[in-house]
Amino acid sequence: MFWDRESETLARPLLEQFQLRQLQETVRRVAERVPFYRQKFAELGVKPEDINSLDDARRLPFTTGADLRGIYPNGLLAVEAHEPVRLHTSSGTTGKPKAVFFSRNDIHNSAELMARSLVMAGLTKQDVFQNMMSYGLFTGGLIMHYGAERVGCLVIPAGPGTSERQLMLMQDFGTTALHILPSYALYFAGFLEQRGINPRKDLTLRKAFVGAEPHTEETRQRIEQALGVDVYNSYGLTEMNGPGVAFECERKAGLHLWEDHFFLEIMDPASGEPLPQGQQGELVLTTLRREAMPLIRYRTRDITSIIPEPCPCGRTHHRLNRITGRADDMLIVRGVNIFPQQIERILMSTPQVGRNYVIILEGLDDMAIQVELAAAGFDGEVEHLATLRRQLTEKLKTELYVRPKVDLVPAGSLPVAEGKAKRVIDRRSL
């Protein structure tokens, strides 16, 4: 199903022509209106008229998260200070957040992209859409809400309330689609199990849209099995409107990034050099239609790669592979680079493992992983637990080249975050 078939299936040469026009326009606007960019362009000796092809985008300066924090609160506005109609901030936990402003058109475009994404994943106006993400400064709640309303669903703005209340809403209003954090979806599945509720029989769920934090294919499969739903990966970030930047189509084979709104590059995160299509690196995005706060070559820190083959669904916008993590998430333990996702893949593909885990770095440079058991886990013999522990340790060591200390803990015993899951605690005395 298409929301905007013409834009979604635009032939690539036309799409690229459109991108170039919008890129030129964006560069012209920020050179005129944003002193931050005027200065950066001057430092690199680049002028708007130098951008004559999409390859010329490489001549433009990067924008980083640190730049956004540096010019906080509103140094990147390309409109008068009274013009934006909405403020959102990123969900960073330390220091000042990154503030992003929206004009009326920016809100309209975000809602359109969101509707486009949801319809692409099979949402229809017959659906009852329970939005279990937080409303407020975080974009995930409001922007998704607008998108689902635009599709014509009955939208339940549940927010991240208690599981008890979520369940009541699902039962009373016949919820068919969820927007939910993947870590919370796993937790919620455990809650239903405890209640003796079988979602396939007792609820009417059919789809879940999960995102806002890294998660693995194994986690998707677990949520699908536990809740009896089709799960679609939703990617976005506050700096680029929030959700609706890239989303899976019904094939569930990569996330279409909406290239008529964002110009996409993949960089080597260390050198900042562009990488050939298909190679994994840092996603760098330039807004092509943003009014209030255009961003040039924003370094997302998210690690992914482009799937070069066209998608059988007929959409021409490139697909991204699942985000494997943020460049900043990389842990260095005993000199070895480790992404938490490598650990999650192994844990979530082990049936005796439950739904939550936490990685603790401690001592001089040691890694411990606390792993919840599946509910039935503790009924097993003590030797079985010892065997499981040994097997997990070996698998993890083979994958990571570091031997972690694995602790098996009862189902439901690890803390669950209010918002995005916090998977790593670093208490090293290094």
Q: Minimal distance in Å, beta carbon 262 to Zn ion?
A: 17
Q: Which residues of 379-403 are buried (b: 16+ CB within 10 A; e: fewer)?
A: eeeeeeeeebeeebeebbeeebebe
Q: Footprint of ligand AMP on residues 311-330 (CB under 6 A)?
A: 323, 326
145 lies in the binding site for ligand AMP (CB under 6 A): no
41 lies in the binding site for ligand AMP (CB under 6 A): no
Q: Closest CB to Zn ion among 276 and 314?
A: 314
Q: Minimal distance in Å, beta carbon 49 to ligand AMP?
A: 32
Strand segments, DSSP code E, in 327-393 are 331-333, 336-338, 353-362, 366-373
Q: Minimal distance in Å, beta carbon 285 to ligand AMP?
A: 10
Q: Closest CB to Zn ion among 311 and 414?
A: 311
261 lies in the binding site for ligand AMP (CB under 6 A): no
Q: Closest CB to ligand AMP among 238 and 406?
A: 238
Q: Closest CB to ligand AMP among 19 and 216?
A: 216
Distance CA 401, CA 338 (A): 9
Q: Minimal distance in Å, beta carbon 232 to Zn ion?
A: 11
Distance CA 178, CA 321 (A): 22
Distance CA 180, CA 210 (A): 5
Q: Footprint of ligand AMP on residues 68-107 (CB under 6 A)?
A: 90-91
Using the rule CB under 6 A, give the single segment among 51-59, 193-201, 234-242, 262-270 that binds ligand AMP: 234-242
Binding mask 211-230 for ligand AMP (x = CB under 6 A): xxxx----------------
Number of residues that bind ligand AMP (CB under 6 A): 18
> Is beta strand 353-362 parallel, antiparallel or unpaired with respect to 424-426?
parallel
Number of residues that bind Zn ion (CB under 5 A): 4
The answer to whether the CB of 379 falls within 8 A of the CB of 408 is no
91 binds, among Zn ion, ligand AMP, none (CB under 5 to 8 A by kind): ligand AMP
238 lies in the binding site for ligand AMP (CB under 6 A): yes
183 lies in the binding site for ligand AMP (CB under 6 A): no
Distance CA 238, CA 87 (A): 10
Cβ contacts of residue 381 below 8 Å, gap of 6+?
none
Strand partners for 306 = 320
Q: Closest CB to Zn ion among 205 and 306?
A: 306
Using the rule CB under 6 A, give the single segment among 27-35, 66-74, 236-244, 392-400 that binds ligand AMP: 236-244
Sheet holding 230-237, edge to edge: 154-156, 128-131, 177-180, 207-211, 230-237, 242-248, 255-257, 319-320, 306-307
Q: Minimal distance in Å, beta carbon 323 to ligand AMP?
A: 4
Q: Minimal distance in Å, beta carbon 113 to Zn ion?
A: 15
213 binds, among Zn ion, ligand AMP, none (CB under 5 to 8 A by kind): ligand AMP
Distance CA 56, CA 51 (A): 5
79 lies in the binding site for Zn ion (CB under 5 A): no
Among 226, 307, 313, 414, binds Zn ion (CB under 5 A): 313
Query: Distances in Å between the alpha carbon of 385 and those of 166, 352, 378, 380?
Result: 34, 9, 8, 7
The answer to whether the CB of 78 falls within 8 A of the CB of 34 is yes
User: How many CA within 13 A on the CB side of residue 180?
Assistant: 30
Structure tokens at 301: 């820190």
Among 131, 233, 241, 305, binds ligand AMP (CB under 6 A): 233
The answer to whether the CB of 339 falls within 8 A of the CB of 32 is no
Structure tokens at 318: 């490139």
67 lies in the binding site for ligand AMP (CB under 6 A): no
68 lies in the binding site for Zn ion (CB under 5 A): no
Residues of this chain that bind Zn ion (CB under 5 A): 249, 311, 313, 315
Residues of this chain that bind ligand AMP (CB under 6 A): 90-91, 139-140, 211-214, 233-238, 300, 302, 323, 326
